[in-house]
């Protein structure tokens, strides 16, 4: 069957749906540790370590060997190199995660390049060999994938050109993932950079989501077997007017209600440069807002789960246990926030209130 009548076959639908639902099970969310080698290199440099394969492995080992990590972490997003790495005792990271009942996933976009003749916007690469790469990752034990398309807000952006490009690319990516049995996490990331207010972020987010779901529909993507990873609707980082968590929650859920079909099992927010505590408090407010919420609303944080880990570890073996406790505290706080039960200030971590924003952040 083809065209208007096609979706993945019934058994594949079942598998995709089960995976997507398991990732957003109540009280849990995703640990995003898919920093590129360049991205993690900056973090390693900040603790005085060289950007070597072994140092990248040692850091990720610290995360994955954390006892009780699965209490609030359902899944992790890996970078290509990490899929093939092992702990000191020779256990593959993927086997270790599976043993802990944590679902391994993989970042599959190949990062951004300039979008020609746009307003300084970008497009994302990696579609050409994606089916083959997905098949390999599936064999290695990954069950989902992630692809991020950033869009920036300025006077004339995001442009129609960039929005359409993002929507097309995310839909092709999602359809290829499903064809290979991986749940696609679709990530249109409206960036925090800029001095725009929350009203503008909300409108832009709505327009982007509408374009993305139209395109997913055009490509016969089976929505029950997908997740979406959007930005929260906040004012731009340089906007003088700051909004309360309740205002952010209302704007975010309103935009999502307008743009994300109820068939999608879950929304897994990126943290985007918010401080650890802000990202937790805003997620908590989102889960408490008095609006319809047909999907699970949880976290897929990178910086907002790891900032305190980096600060505490500082590259030293003797700090590993302490750094793992920081990770558990943040995961627990976000787990509570994902069901609206976090009390702001309840958890304190080494970098809890420090902003994680950097201009033109490189993942």
Smaller CB distance to ligand 13P: residue 180 or 334? Answer: 334
Q: How far is the CB of 160 from ligand 13P (least distance, A)?
A: 24
> What's the chain look like in SS3?
CCHHHCCCCHHHHHHHHHHHHHHCCCCCEEEECCCCHHHHHHHHHHCCCCCCHHHHHHHHHHHHCCCCHHHCEEEEEECHHHHCCECCCCCEHHHHHHHCCCEEEEECCCCEEECCCCCCCEEECCCCCHHHHHHHHHHHCCCEEEEEEEECCECCECCHHHHHHHHHHHHHHHHHHHHCCCEEEEEEEECCCCCCCHHHHHHHHHHHHHHHHHHHHHCCCCHHHCEECCCCCCCCCCCCCCCCHHHHHHHHHHHHHHHCCCCCCEEEECCCCCCHHHHHHHHHHHHHCCCCCCCEEEEEECHHHHHHHHHHHCCCHHHHHHHHHHHHHHHHHHHHHCCCCCCCCCCCCCCCCCCCCCCCCCC
Residue 152 interacting with ligand 13P (CB under 6 A): no
- Among positions 201, 234, 243, 271, the unique one binding ligand 13P when judged by CB under 6 A: 271
Residue 347 interacting with ligand 13P (CB under 6 A): no
Q: How far is the CB of 303 from ligand 13P (least distance, A)?
A: 3
> Looking only at residues 27 through 66 of this chain, which bind ligand 13P when binding is defined by CB under 6 A?
32, 34
Smaller CB distance to ligand 13P: residue 144 or 301? Answer: 301
Q: Which residues are catalytic?
A: 187, 229
Residue 363 interacting with ligand 13P (CB under 6 A): yes
> Looking only at residues 178 through 207 of this chain, which bind ligand 13P when binding is defined by CB under 6 A?
187
Residue 259 interacting with ligand 13P (CB under 6 A): no
Smaller CB distance to ligand 13P: residue 8 or 338? Answer: 338
Minimal CB distance residue for ligand 13P: 302
- Among positions 270, 281, 331, 333, the unique one binding ligand 13P when judged by CB under 6 A: 270
Residues at the site binding ligand 13P, with contacts judged by CB under 6 A: 32, 34, 148, 187, 270-272, 301-304, 363
């Amino acid at each position: 069957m083809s065209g208007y009548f096609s979706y993945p076959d019934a058994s594949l639908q079942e598998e995709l749906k089960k995976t997507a639902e398991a990732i957003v099970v109540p009280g849990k969310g995703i640990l995003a540790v898919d920093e590129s080698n360049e991205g993690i290199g900056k973090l390693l440099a900040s603790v005085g370590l060289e950007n070597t394969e072994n140092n990248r492995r040692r850091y990720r080992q610290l995360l994955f060997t954390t006892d009780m990590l699965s209490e609030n972490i359902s899944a992790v997003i890996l970078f290509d190199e990490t899929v093939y790495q092992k702990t000191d005792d020779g256990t593959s990271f993927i086997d270790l995660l599976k043993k802990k009942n944590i679902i391994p996933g993989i970042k599959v976009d190949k990062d951004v390049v300039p979008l020609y003749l746009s307003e300084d916007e970008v497009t994302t690469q990696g579609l050409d060999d994606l089916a083959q790469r997905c098949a390999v990752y599936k064999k290695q034990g990954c069950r989902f994938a992630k692809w991020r398309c950033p869009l920036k807000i300025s006077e004339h952006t995001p442009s129609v050109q960039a929005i359409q490009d993002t929507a097309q690319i995310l839909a092709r990516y999602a359809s290829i993932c499903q064809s290979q049995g991986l749940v696609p996490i679709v990530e249109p990331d409206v960036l925090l950079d800029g001095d725009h207010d929350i009203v503008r972020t909300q409108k832009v987010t709505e327009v982007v989501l509408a374009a993305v779901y139209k395109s997913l529909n055009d490509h016969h993507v089976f929505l029950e077997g997908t997740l979406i990873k959007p930005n929260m609707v906040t004012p731009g980082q340089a906007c003088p007017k700051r909004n309360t968590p309740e205002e952010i929650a209302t704007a975010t859920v309103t935009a999502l209600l307008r743009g994300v079909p109820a068939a999608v099992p879950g929304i897994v927010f990126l943290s985007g440069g918010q401080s650890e505590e802000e990202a937790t408090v805003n997620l908590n407010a989102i889960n408490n807002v008095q609006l319809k919420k047909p999907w699970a609303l949880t976290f897929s944080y990178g910086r907002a789960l790891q900032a305190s880990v980096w600060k505490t570890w500082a590259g030293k073996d003797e700090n590993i246990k302490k750094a793992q406790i920081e990770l558990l505290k943040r995961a627990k706080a976000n787990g509570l926030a994902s069901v609206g039960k976090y009390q702001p200030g309840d958890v304190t971590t080494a970098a809890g209130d420090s902003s994680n924003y950097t201009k033109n952040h490189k993942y």
